[in-house]
Amino acid sequence: MKHNLSVFLLTVLFFAAGSFPGCLALNIACAEAPAMSDGQGVVGDGRWVMGNGKSMDYALAKAPSAGADATVRGEEALPGRADDAFQDEYKDDENQDYDDEPFAEERVTIADPIEPFNRAMHRFNDRLYFWLLKPVARGYKAVVPEPARISVKNFYYHLLFPIRFVNCLLQADLTGAGSEAGRFAINTVWGIGGLLDPSSNRGIELQKQNTDFGQTLGLYGVGHGFYIVWPFLGPSSPRDSVDIAGEYVLDPLSYFTPWYTSLGKRPFKMINNASLSLGDYEAVIEAAIDPYIAIRNGYIQYRMKEVQTRRARSLFFRNWKSEATRAPAN
Amino acid sequence: MENRILKKRLAGCMLVMMLLMSVPAYAGAPMSAVESTVNRVLDVLRDPKMKGPAAKSLKTEKLRVIYKDMFDEMEFSRRTLTRNWNKFTPEQRREFVDLFEQVLEKTYLDRILEYSNEKIVFYKESMIADDKAEIQSRVITSSKEVPIYYRMILKNGKWKVYDVVVENVSLVQNYRTQFNEILAGGTPEQLLETLRKKVKTH
């Protein structure tokens, strides 16, 4: 008897807890709560009383069996609302700009004065990918097993350590610089010269610091300027193009090997990396309505976020952040 | 004796009721909403009974049901069009929402169907407003990690996804720029025509 009583109490408690969020969301449900004890009140996810103009037929279509009983009652609760509710969904938008959205800073734009040139380069890179890079990367993928390809990727990434280290320092991110230095030491010794990445393993977990010169300049408040699509290299801007030079100066291979090896190195790096991400570019192109604009916007959103996260880590520029992000909005 | 059996049954009924009743409580937590949906998707993809090309259409069908339950396509469409929404007639709006959904479905379903045991980790939920939340997740493949954030909105007691942020790129924002540019020089009808062609050529 006692046991049954406690089950009953628990039931009541859970029932109360269960319908509480529903009450908040639907605000009418609370008034209906006594009627719910017959076990029919809350249907599925509580879609049944529409507070903001969602239609009854819409709910019915989505939950045909369970919604039926509730629909009748819902209509009683909101007479006359159901008929025009479906139209309501497609009605004019009053909140046109969605200014309330908390991610308004993502609305970044970039000037594109040389759009015809950029579009031509975009077409060139697109064909380069589909006609040359993709078939070669596929063949390469068929011959070379995945762990080996990951090692090659790790190795190229490892080589560019000086760039990441210097930029961490320039960004006044000492933890980042320490982390990169640690990664370099560990991966050189235990990772067989950077072929493996033991630093990322559990226990050490030194995170990669993807820093570059364009990012550092962005952190200092330098804007993109305008959009450029480079042949072979893809989306960039005058600011971010600094890295083409930076990569040459700070890449150790460019000191120790004759210049023409760096010419051979880049295509191989491109093929290797492409073999590990086949399908990514295709997905972007296929999802896009205008691929050129989709990539341009993707690029600046990505870079903006990068600069933002790096700035938050910086010792000097952290407080400067709020001003810099507010300035363009006003 | 009979009384005891009756009581047991009553307790059983109540237990069932209790389980049924507590469902809306879970819908209150955006993270568990998106996580359970993703797990449902993974269940379909991992189902050993549905291997091979023959099962592809069946899988697609099952995934479509889950997708429709997870996304708020109306919110998504409105947010991508913003002030352009009012340039469309109600019929054009309806067609736009429908076509746009098909475009997204085609591209992302194909991509999801290629899934091969990547690990997905949900690690952070931030409430942005009373009715908005961002769920952060990571897809871990053998060669890289891709951060995917789901932005959710609470409507009628249910959390639904209205934007997906892949590698720091917000899809809503990305489409918004595209539509803005297309509609700056063209009419809603021209945009719809582009979408119609896009859906057909898939």
- Per-residue pLDDT averaged across A67-90, rounded? 47
Q: Which of A79, A101, A123 is the last residue of a domain?
A: A101
For residue A175, what is the DSSP state?
Answer: H
Query: Which pLDDT value is given to residue A58?
Result: 37
Displacement of CA A268 from its chain's centroid (Å): 27
Closest-CA distance of chain B to residue A17, Å: 7
Report the pLDDT value the prediction gives residue A254, as an integer from 0 to 100. 65
Digit-coded pLDDT (tens) for B148-202: 999 999 888 888 999 999 988 999 999 999 999 999 988 999 999 999 998 887 6
**Which is it for the CA torsion A321, A323, A328, A329, positive or negative?**
positive
Comparing A57-71, A197-211, A305-319, B127-141, the range with the smallest average pLDDT is A57-71
What's the structural domain count of chain A? Answer: 2
Instruction: Report, in this order, helix, strand and coil percent for chain A, each rounded to 5.
Output: 65, 0, 30
Give the Å distances, CA to CA, from B178 to A126, B63, B81. 18, 27, 10
Which residues on A lie below 8 Å from B155 (Cβ)? 52, 54
Residues A320 and A172 in one domain: yes
Computed over every residue of chain B, the mean pLDDT equals 82
Write the single-letter amino acid at A190: W
Closest by CA position to A181, among listed A156, A209, A202: A209
Is residue A218 within 8 Å of A307, Cβ to Cβ? yes
* HSE-up (13 A, CA, CB side) for residue A149: 23
In which band, very low, low, confident or very high, does the pLDDT at A43 lie, cut at 50, 70 and 90? Answer: very low
- What was the pLDDT predicted at B182? 92
Ramachandran quadrant class, A227 (left: phi over 0; alpha: psi -120 to 50; beta: rest): beta
Q: Which of A293, A296, A307 to mutate to test the interface with B (most CBs of B within 10 A)?
A: A293
A74 and A117 co-located in one domain: no
Question: Are A194 and A227 part of one and the same domain?
Answer: yes
Q: Residue B9: pLDDT above 80?
A: no
Closest-CA residue of A relative to B92 is A90
Residues 107-146 of A with CB under 8 A from B: 107, 109, 146
Per residue in A272-302, pLDDT tens?
A: 888 888 888 988 888 899 999 999 999 999 9
Tell me which chain B residues have a C-beta less than 8 angstroms from the C-beta of A283: 107-108, 110-111
B 34-73 near A (Cβ less than 8 A): none
| pLDDT for res B13 | 61
Of B14, B128, B155, the CB nearest to A8: B14
Domain shared by A136 and A54, yes or no: no
With an 8 Å Cβ cutoff, is B177 touching chain A? yes
Residue of B nearest to A286 (CA): B107
SS3 B137: strand
Sign of CA dihedral A281, A285, A291, A297: negative
Do residue A150 and residue A296 come from a single domain? yes
Q: How many Cα atoms sit within 13 Å of B177 on the Cβ side?
A: 24
Q: What residues in B contact A45, CB-CB < 8 Å?
A: 23-24, 27, 157-158
CA distance B153 to A215: 33
* B132 contacts in chain A (CB < 8 Å): 102
Rounded to an integer, what is the distance from CA A71 to the centroid of its chain?
A: 39
How much is the pLDDT for A233? 87
In a domain, A153, yes or no: yes
- What is the rounded distance in angstroms from the CA atom of residue A312 to the CA atom of residue A318? 5
- Which range of A72-76, A255-259, B121-125, B193-197 scores highest in mean pLDDT? It is B193-197
Closest CA to A215 of A117, A303, A285: A303
Higher pLDDT, B174 or A15: B174
Higher pLDDT among residues B115 and B120, named by residue? B120
B91-112 residue pLDDT tens: 999 999 999 988 888 877 877 8
> Between these two residues, B189 and A31, which has the higher pLDDT value?
B189
Concatenated DSSP letters of B61-115: HHHHHHHHHHB-HHHHHHHHHGGGGGGS-HHHHHHHHHHHHHHHHHHHHHHHHT-
Comparing CB atoms, the residue among B21, B28, B107 nearest residue A14 is B21
pLDDT of residue B27: 40
- Flag if B27 and A287 touch (Cβ within 8 Å): no
Q: For residues B183 and B191, is the Cβ–Cβ distance under 8 A?
A: yes
Q: In terms of domains, do A154 and A247 share one?
A: yes
Using a CB-CB distance cutoff of 8 angstroms, which residues of chain A are in contact with residue B144? 276-277
Q: Residue A151 and residue B143: Cα distance in Å, rounded? A: 9
B106 touches chain A (CB under 8 A): yes
Phi, psi of B164 (to 5 degrees): -120, 130
Res A303 pLDDT > 60: yes
Q: ipTM above 0.85?
A: no
Q: Which residues of B touch A305 (CB under 8 A)?
A: 168
pLDDT at A330 over 70: no
Which residue, of A101, A122, A155, is where some domain finishes?
A: A101
Residue B2's contacts (CB-CB under 8 Å, 6 or more residues apart) are none
A258 CA to chain B: closest CA distance, Å?
30
- Please indicate, yes or no, whether residues A146 and A280 belong to a single structural domain of this protein: yes
Give the integer Cα–Cα distance in Å for A42 and A14: 13
CB of B15 within 8 Å of any CB in chain A?
A: yes
- Give the residue, B65 or A106, on which the prediction is more confident: B65
| Closest by CA position to B165, among listed B187, B130, B136, B127 | B136
Is the same domain home to A158 and A251?
A: yes
User: Which residue, A82, A101, A120, sits at the end of a domain?
Assistant: A101
Chain A contact present for B183, CB below 8 A: no
| Same domain for A152 and A46 | no
Note which residues in 133-172 of chain B have CB less than 8 A from chain A: 142-144, 151, 154-158, 167-170
Task: Give the span between the Cα atoms of A47 and B155, in whole angstroms.
Answer: 9
| Segments forming the whole domain that contains residue A30 | 2-101
Report DSSP letters for A180-199, one per residue. Answer: HHHHHHHHHHTTTTTTS-GG
Does A126 lie in the same domain as A93? no
Length of chain A: 330
pLDDT tens digits for range B48-73: 777 777 777 888 888 888 888 888 88
Q: Is residue A106 domain-resident?
A: no
Asked whether residue A107 is assigned to any structural domain, the reply reads: no
A92 in the same domain as A119: no
Closest chain A residue to B84, measured at CA: A96
Contact across the interface for A92 and B85, Cβ inside 8 Å: yes
Query: Which residue has tokens 């570019």?
Result: A281
**List of chain B residues whose C-beta atoms are within 8 Å of the C-beta of residue A14:** 18, 21-22
Q: Which residue has the tokens 């290629």?
A: B114
**What is the spatial distance between Cα A50 and Cα A59, in angstroms, rounded to a whole number?**
9
Domains of chain B in start order, with CATH, are 29-201 (3.10.450.710)
Average pLDDT for chain A = 73
Same domain for A210 and A90? no
